[in-house]
Amino acid sequence: MIFSRKRDDARRNARDERTTEVLDSTESAPAALARGPYDVSEAPAGVQRLDLGSLQIPAVRDVEVRVQADPEGVIQQVVLVHGQNALQLGVFAAPRSEGIWDEVREEIRQSLFNDGAAAQEVEGEFGTELHARVRTQDGITDLRFVGIDGPRWMVRGVYQGEAATNPAAAGPLAECLDGLVVDRGQEAKPVREPLPLRLPRDVADQAGAGAPAGGNPAPGPREA
């Protein structure tokens, strides 16, 4: 179904650097994140977002949100598309005490290596990224994996297209990632378990009534 809508220490430091402190002469106000991904408890108000349950995606001009869902409206894949660029999103449970992106990134690197693809770690604006070139049914494809650790969650994004090799080309897709909101919930979940994503009720009802579902999600890696 297609919707058209016109974070090791270095990584934690990268997230900390995205905060803005407002100071006056006598006291400091609580720090506020200058940009996301945001936990639902700190997300700015007044922003139009597509609510997919654990993920809320901001509406950005000319970005399509493509989801692959089952007949019950449970989402298996979320891909944002802008022109020839794509950003596949996943969100996972993490422990309260530490982030998991370092471990997940190493497992992705090893998996790619086992499949015959080389991957390189590169420092990006969210910390360490993983850049790889893989063979898909469409030919050789460049991928750029980013991970952001939040409070008891981790967002993983996979860029494709020019945005995989040139971050400056991500444009509106990066804007979506910056504005992403994660609603982790309070219930206990196994570490790395994907957080539940669901179609909005009205859309799920529409799909159940016979609207086309599926779409053509961009090729992506195995789940973390």
Nearest CA-CA partner of 70 in 221, 199, 224, 206: 199
Identify whether the C-beta of residue 96 lies closer than 8 Å to the C-beta of residue 104.
Answer: no
CA atoms of 24 and 42, how far apart (whole Å) = 22
Only one residue has tokens 């990134």, namely 105
What pLDDT, on a 0 to 100 scale, did the predictor assign at position 208?
Answer: 53
What pLDDT, on a 0 to 100 scale, did the predictor assign at position 207?
Answer: 53
Only one residue has tokens 């961009």, namely 218
Identify whether the C-beta of residue 39 lies closer than 8 Å to the C-beta of residue 156.
Answer: no
CA atoms of 203 and 216, how far apart (whole Å) = 18
Is the pTM value of this prediction over 0.95? no
What pLDDT, on a 0 to 100 scale, did the predictor assign at position 72?
Answer: 86
What pLDDT, on a 0 to 100 scale, did the predictor assign at position 75?
Answer: 95
Distance of CA 60 to the CA centre of its chain: 15
Count of beta carbons in the 10 Å neighbourhood of residue 118 = 11
Q: How far is residue 114 from each of residues 107, 117, 121, 169, measured CA to CA in Å?
A: 10, 7, 17, 29
As beta bridge partners, residue 33 has 19
Torsional class of 14: left (φ above 0), alpha (ψ -120 to 50), beta (otherwise): alpha
What residue type is assigned to position 62 of the chain?
A: D
Q: Between 135 and 169, whose confidence is greater?
A: 169
Q: 140-144, 176-180, 182-186, 219-223: lowest mean pLDDT where?
A: 219-223
Tally of CA atoms within 13 A in the half-sphere of 78 that contains its CB = 29
CA atoms of 108 and 114, how far apart (whole Å) = 10
DSSP state of 165: T
What residue type is assigned to position 101 of the chain?
A: W
pLDDT digits 0-9 by tens, 146-161: 999 999 999 999 999 9
DSSP state of 29: P
For residue 17, the SS3 value is coil
